[in-house]
Amino acid sequence: MNSKEIKIKQEILDLQSKINEWDNAYYNLDNPIVEDAVYDNEILRLKKLEEQYAYLFTYEELKNSPTQKINAFASETFTKIRHNEPMLSLNKAYTYEEIEKFIAKIDKIAVNYSFYIEPKIDGLSISIKYKNGKLWQAVTRGDGLIGEDVTENVKQIECIPKEINYLNDLEVRGEIYLSISDFNNLNRMLELENKPKMANPRNGAAGTLRQLNPEIVKERKLSAFLYYIVNPELHNIKTMTESFEFLSKLEFPISKETKTVYTIEEIFEYINNFKTIKTSLDYETDGIVIKLNELKYYNELGYTVKFPHSAIAFKYEPDTVSTTLKNIFATIGRTGLVTYNAELEPVTLSGSRISFATLNNYQYIYDLNLNTNDLVYIKKAGEIIPCVISLVNKKEELNVFNKIITCPYCKESLIDSETFLEQYCINPNCPEIIRKRLIHFASKEAMELDTLGEKNIDFFIEKGFIKNIDDFFRLKERSAELTNLEGFGYKSIMNILISIEKSKELSLERIIFAFSIKHIGAKVSKFIASKVVSLDQFIDFDFEQLTSYDEIGPKIVSSLKEWCNNEHNRSLVTRILDLGVNLVYKSNAKSNILENLTFVITGELSQPRSFYEKMILENGGKITSSVSQKTNYLLCGEKAGSKLEKAQKLNIKIINENEFYDLCK
Contact 557, 544 (CB under 8 A): yes
Q: Would you tell me how many other CB atoms lie within 10 Å of the CB of residue 659?
A: 13
In a domain, 85, yes or no: no
Does residue 136 sit in the same domain as residue 271?
Answer: yes
Pairwise CA distance, residues 403 & 366, whole Å = 9
pLDDT > 50? residue 400 = yes
What is the DSSP secondary-structure string of 557-626? HHHHHHHHH-HHHHHHHHHHHHTT---B---S-S--TTTT-EEEEESB-SS-HHHHHHHHHHTT-EE-SS
Pairwise CA distance, residues 30 & 199, whole Å = 10
User: Edge-to-edge strands of the sheet including 259-261?
Assistant: 92-93, 311-315, 285-292, 115-121, 259-261
Nearest to 271 by CA among 293, 291, 244, 290: 290
Average pLDDT value for residue range 454-479: 92
407 is in an annotated binding site: yes
The residues, any chain, with a CB within 8 Å of residue 453's CB and separated by 6 or more, are none
Average pLDDT value for residue range 252-266: 94
In a domain, 179, yes or no: yes
Does residue 406 sit in the same domain as residue 542?
Answer: no
Pairwise CA distance, residues 521 & 509, whole Å = 10
Does residue 292 sit in the same domain as residue 310?
Answer: yes
Does residue 218 sit in the same domain as residue 107?
Answer: yes
Q: Which of 266, 285, 315 is the last residue of a domain?
A: 315
Q: Which of 396, 425, 454 is the last residue of a domain?
A: 425
- State in Å, rounded, how far the first CA of the chain is from the last one: 86
What is the DSSP secondary-structure string of 488-557? --HHHHHHHHHHHHHHTTS-HHHHHHHTT-TT--HHHHHHHHHHH-BHHHHTT--GGGGGGSTT--HHHH
Backbone angles phi, psi at 648, to 5 degrees: -65, -40
In a domain, 194, yes or no: yes
> Residue 467's pLDDT band (boundaries 50, 70, 90)?
very high
212 is in an annotated binding site: no
Nearest to 38 by CA among 17, 19, 11: 19
pLDDT digits 0-9 by tens, 589-614: 677 888 888 898 888 888 877 688 77
Average pLDDT value for residue range 552-558: 86
Pairwise CA distance, residues 381 & 319, whole Å = 8
Does residue 403 sit in the same domain as residue 448?
Answer: no
Domain that residue 117 falls in? 91-315
Contact 85, 230 (CB under 8 A): yes
Q: What is the four-CA torsion angle of 446, 452, 455, 456, rounded to 10 degrees?
A: -140
21 is in an annotated binding site: no
Q: Is 431 helix (H, G, I), strand (E, B) or coil?
A: helix
Percent of the chain at pLDDT > 90 equals 45
What's residue 353's pLDDT?
A: 83
The chain-wide mean pLDDT, for the chain, equals 87
> Residue 193's pLDDT band (boundaries 50, 70, 90)?
low
Mean pLDDT is lowest, of 65-79, 547-561, 648-662, for 65-79
Q: Which of 260, 287, 315 is the last residue of a domain?
A: 315
pLDDT top residue among 613 and 415? 415
Pairwise CA distance, residues 31 & 34, whole Å = 9
pLDDT digits 0-9 by tens, 203-242: 788 888 878 778 888 888 899 999 999 999 999 999 999 9
What's residue 384's pLDDT?
A: 56
pLDDT > 70? residue 34 = no
Contact 139, 149 (CB under 8 A): yes
Query: Residue 650 maps to which CATH number?
Result: 3.40.50.10190
Query: Residue 361 maps to which CATH number?
Result: 2.40.50.140
463 is in an annotated binding site: no
pLDDT > 50? residue 378 = yes
List the catalytic residues.
Answer: 120
What is the DSSP secondary-structure string of 336-400? -BEEEEEEEEEEEETTEEEEEEEEESHHHHHHHT--TT-EEEEE--TTSPPEEEEESS--SS---
175 is in an annotated binding site: yes
Percent of the chain at pLDDT > 70 equals 92
pLDDT digits 0-9 by tens, 103-140: 999 999 999 999 999 999 988 899 999 999 999 999 99
The residues, any chain, with a CB within 8 Å of residue 609's CB and separated by 6 or more, are 601
Total domains in the chain come to 5
In a domain, 629, yes or no: yes
Contact 441, 447 (CB under 8 A): yes
pLDDT > 90? residue 643 = no
In a domain, 641, yes or no: yes
pLDDT digits 0-9 by tens, 75-98: 456 788 999 998 888 888 888 899
Q: How far is CA 297 from the centre of its chain?
A: 38
Does residue 528 sit in the same domain as residue 615?
Answer: no
pLDDT > 90? residue 6 = no
Q: Which amino acid is at 100?
A: E
Does residue 311 sit in the same domain as residue 414?
Answer: no
Does residue 169 sit in the same domain as residue 196?
Answer: yes
Does residue 219 sit in the same domain as residue 255?
Answer: yes
In a domain, 81, yes or no: no
**DSSP label at residue 665:** -
Does residue 552 sit in the same domain as residue 607?
Answer: no
Backbone angles phi, psi at 637, to 5 degrees: -110, -160
In a domain, 530, yes or no: yes
pTM: predicted TM-score of the whole model, two decimal places:
0.53
pLDDT > 50? residue 358 = yes
> Residue 568's pLDDT band (boundaries 50, 70, 90)?
very high
Does residue 16 sit in the same domain as residue 117?
Answer: no
Q: Which amino acid is at 151?
A: T
> Residue 383's pLDDT band (boundaries 50, 70, 90)?
very low
Q: Which residues pair with 58 in a beta bridge?
A: none
Average pLDDT value for residue range 421-450: 91
Pairwise CA distance, residues 557 & 547, whole Å = 7
Burial classification of residue 177, based on how many CB atoms lie within 10 Å of its CB (0-12 exposed, 13-18 middle, 19 or more buried): buried
Pairwise CA distance, residues 451 & 413, whole Å = 35
pLDDT > 80? residue 495 = yes
Query: Residue 105 maps to which CATH number?
Result: 3.30.470.30
410 is in an annotated binding site: yes
39 is in an annotated binding site: yes
Average pLDDT value for residue range 454-465: 91
> Residue 575's pLDDT band (boundaries 50, 70, 90)?
very high
Average pLDDT value for residue range 300-309: 84
Query: Residue 60 maps to which CATH number?
Result: 1.10.287.610
> Residue 71's pLDDT band (boundaries 50, 70, 90)?
low
Beta strands in 205-351 (DSSP E): 223-229, 259-261, 285-292, 311-315, 320-332, 338-349
pLDDT > 80? residue 374 = yes
What's residue 16's pLDDT?
A: 86
89 is in an annotated binding site: yes
Contact 266, 96 (CB under 8 A): no
141 is in an annotated binding site: yes
What's residue 154's pLDDT?
A: 93
The residues, any chain, with a CB within 8 Å of residue 358's CB and separated by 6 or more, are 339, 340, 341, 342, 385, 386, 387, 388
379 is in an annotated binding site: no
Nearest to 333 by CA among 206, 192, 521: 192
Query: Residue 553 maps to which CATH number?
Result: 1.10.150.20
600 is in an annotated binding site: no
pLDDT top residue among 19 and 429? 429
Nearest to 386 by CA among 362, 350, 422, 416: 350
In a domain, 604, yes or no: yes
pLDDT > 50? residue 74 = no
Does residue 198 sit in the same domain as residue 302?
Answer: yes
90 is in an annotated binding site: yes
